[in-house]
Structures are given as structure tokens and as C-alpha cells.
Amino acid sequence: MKRAALLAGAGLLLLSGCYRVQKPAQAQPGAAAPVTRGDGKTLRVFIWSEYIDPDLVKVFEKANGVRVVLDTFESNEAMLAKLQGGGAQYDLAVPSNYVVQTMVRAGLLQPLDKSRLPNLKNIAPGFLNADYDPGNVYSVPYQYAATGLAYNRERYVPQDTWAEIFGADDRRSFVLLDDPREVIGAALKYLGFSANTTRVEELRAARDLLRRVVAKKGFQGFDGGPGTRNKLLAKTVDLGQIYVGDLLIATEEDENVQVLLPRQGTTISMDTLVVLKRSPNPALAHRFIDFILDAENGAQLSNYTYYATPNAAARPYLDDFLKDIPALNPPAAWLADGRLDFIGELPAGRPQRLYDRIWTELKSR
């Protein structure tokens, strides 16, 4: 008893004595901003995991004599919640296109100063001025992922059509993405509608189709990118709906896993770079964005993440094997003729409820 008490006491003393006192975060009353903020020496970035080449970060740190702090989030919703709570002093965030407007309305973003982004000209015109941010007032495209149909050619080689999954044939096993907008979106594309439709009759058609699809013998459930990738590597399913980048990274290990974009078209989502309104170092944030928009850096980013680059000037610097993958470089015509739909924000109210209801029903089958 006595010994335990002594131990605990010693432990407490040790901890209180040796515990590194953190940099005092308070300034003198009436003084300017405290040292931990806005000193132009630290850039804080809120980003998806495994989404930036650490070497690229080191280059930026060295070139500017700054420290870059990367924090990760696992979903747009989790990122929004943390930022809206106002607890974190980030400079930059990497939201998907369909939450940019939500962030604008929540007053989280500051307009970009284009004069500090000369490399913006490197972005392919098709990816600028998109519906989610007209005129790119708040965001620049970072990396994007189309959703494709993946397979292991040692097990099965499909045609380039969603009919492989949504058709009447029930000989193939398949996995769908665990994401309402992706699954309903793919069904809508197969039926020839927009993936962002708000027409009730179109959504009903998609619902009826999906009911039949999840009742198939071949349906192996919903899964995220990593899970589906592993099933294809292990050859336990024929087909998987997956983000192109999440599948391609597995080709390092097995060249037989491949991915294609169905000819009916598919959904894409663009991850974007935005500067937060309360960014302590907006100038440094702009410098970082311009650094990412550089042709060679943009290519290095894709060579690391296996996601597609919206940076036209980066093309020549991409690894050869990435250049040859059609799924990663959808024809420009696809963007123009509406075969590629950016997943957009749904108007609140009935449409949103319809999507929710369809999804709930599919998941609770």
C-alpha cells in the first residue's frame, strides 16, 4: 500500500517536473497577436490521409523556411464539424467539391487572391469555373477521382458498361461503394440520367433498379475503397465499384487489377484547396497552393497518390504507366458532353430526403 502510494507520488512529481512546458500561448494584454499564430512560420493543413507526397512537403518547408503541420480527417462531414466548431486554426483544407458551397455559406472560407496564384493557368480549362465554385472564387482543383469499375483480369474481364452490374445477368459477383451518392449516381448514369437529378420519377427508376441489383446472388455487399481493393487483389469478387485512385495504387503489387470507366459515364469528385477565413497565415497558404499548382509538383502529387491531376501542364511529368491509363485520364469530351458528373450538393428538402430514403432502404435490406 505504502509502496504504491510512493510510486504514484513519484510518478506525479516526475510528470509535473519533467513535463515539457508548452510554449506559452498567451500574449501580454493589449499586445499584438501571440507568437503561436500568424508568424508566417507554420502552415497548418487539414487533408485526407495519404493524400500528399511527404517529400513534396519537405521541399516546400525547405524552400520557405517553414514548418508544415498536416492533420488528417476521414470524411468531409468530420472535417466540416471540426471547422464549424471553430477549434482549429488551420490555414488550408482539402474539401471535396460538393461541400465547398456549404463551407462558403458557413462563412469558413476566404476568397482567393488570384494575383498570388500565377500557376492557376496550369489547370485544364475543363476543371475551372465549375458549378461548385463559379469563377473559382474560393477553391482551386487539387486532385480528382472518377468512380470506375474494377476487376482482376486473371479472374474476369468485363465490358466497359455499368450493365456488368446493373444488367439482368446474374453470373458475376460484385461489390458496391459504401456511399449513397456513388451508388445511386451510378444507377442514374446507367439509366441515362444525371447523377445529380432531382426528378422524382428518375430517382424512382434508380430505386427500382437498385432494389433488383442488391437482390442479386452476385451482390457481395457495400465496401469502401481499401476493402474492395483487397477483395480484387485476393480474387474473391469479379467486379468492384471503386475510386480509380484507390484501385490503381494496388497495381504496384499486382498488375492484373485494372479499372475502367463505363461508357454510360460516371461520377467524379474533385478535391479542392481552400483557404480558411481564420487562417493565421493566408499569404503562406497562397504560396502553398501555387506550389501545388506547379507543373512538376502536380505530377509528383499524382505519382504518389495515383489520383488524377486537373493540372494540364503536369501531364508530361506523370509516370509513364499513369499516362497510359484511360480511367485516370478521361477524354475531355466526356466532361463536355455530360458523361462525367461532378457529384453536386443536393438542394435541401425533398430531393435530399429521397436520396436518403433510397439509401436507407438498400442498406437495411
Partner 1 sequence: MMRRTHPALSAWAWLVYAFLYLPIIVLVVFSFNDSRFGATWAGFTTKWYGVLFARADVREALAHTLEIALISTLVSTVLGTLVGLGLWRYTLRFRTALTGLLVLPIVVPDVVMGVSLLMFYSFVRQGLERAGWTFDNGFWTVLLAHVTFQISYVALTVRSRLAGYGPELEEAARDLGASGWESFRRVVLPLAMPGVLAGALLAFTLSLDDFVVTYFTSGSGFSTLPVLIYTNVKRGVTPDINALSALLVLVTVVAIVAANALLRPRRDA
We find the least distance from the C-beta atom of residue 185 to partner 1, in angstroms, to be 19
User: For residues 138 and 113, what is the distance between their CA atoms, to the nearest angstrom?
Assistant: 9
We find the least distance from the C-beta atom of residue 150 to partner 1, in angstroms, to be 13
The overall longest dimension of the chain from CA atoms, in Å, is 79
Nearer to partner 1 among residue 193 and residue 306 (C-beta): 306
User: For residues 345 and 354, what is the distance between their CA atoms, to the nearest angstrom?
Assistant: 14
Copy the grid coordinates of residue 351: 430531393
What is the dihedral angle through the alpha carbons of 259, 78, 188, 127, rounded to the nearest 10 degrees?
Answer: -70
User: For residues 165 and 240, what is the distance between their CA atoms, to the nearest angstrom?
Assistant: 9
Nearer to partner 1 among residue 72 and residue 161 (C-beta): 72
Q: SS3 for 340?
A: strand
Nearer to partner 1 among residue 139 and residue 305 (C-beta): 305
User: For residues 103 and 80, what is the distance between their CA atoms, to the nearest angstrom?
Assistant: 8
We find the least distance from the C-beta atom of residue 40 to partner 1, in angstroms, to be 16
By the 8 A CB rule, do 261 and 158 touch? no
Cα–Cα distances (Å) from 153 to 62, 98, 196, 243, 251, in that order, read 44, 33, 32, 18, 12
Nearer to partner 1 among residue 48 and residue 359 (C-beta): 48
Nearer to partner 1 among residue 61 and residue 208 (C-beta): 61
Nearer to partner 1 among residue 63 and residue 234 (C-beta): 234
Q: SS3 for 105?
A: helix
Q: What is the DSSP letter of 162?
A: T
We find the least distance from the C-beta atom of residue 356 to partner 1, in angstroms, to be 19
We find the least distance from the C-beta atom of residue 180 to partner 1, in angstroms, to be 16
Copy the grid coordinates of residue 272: 479542392
Nearer to partner 1 among residue 22 and residue 115 (C-beta): 22
In the block, cell 434508380 appears at 206
We find the least distance from the C-beta atom of residue 38 to partner 1, in angstroms, to be 11
Residues at the contact surface with partner 1, assessed by CB under 8 A: 1, 8, 11-12, 15, 19, 22, 25-31, 34, 36-37, 44, 46, 48-51, 69-75, 78, 81-82, 85-90, 224-226, 229-231, 233-234, 246, 249-250, 252-253
We find the least distance from the C-beta atom of residue 296 to partner 1, in angstroms, to be 23
Nearer to partner 1 among residue 249 and residue 340 (C-beta): 249
We find the least distance from the C-beta atom of residue 2 to partner 1, in angstroms, to be 10
Nearer to partner 1 among residue 44 and residue 189 (C-beta): 44
We find the least distance from the C-beta atom of residue 194 to partner 1, in angstroms, to be 26
What is the dihedral angle through the alpha carbons of 176, 177, 180, 182, rounded to the nearest 10 degrees?
Answer: -100
The answer for residues whose C-beta is within 8 angstroms of residue 206's C-beta and 6 or more apart is: 184, 187, 188, 191, 193, 358
**Burial state string for 176-192 with b = 16 or more CB within 10 A and e = fewer than 16:** bbbbbbbbbbbbbbbbe
Cα–Cα distances (Å) from 16 to 6, 7, 12, 13, 358, in that order, read 15, 14, 6, 5, 55
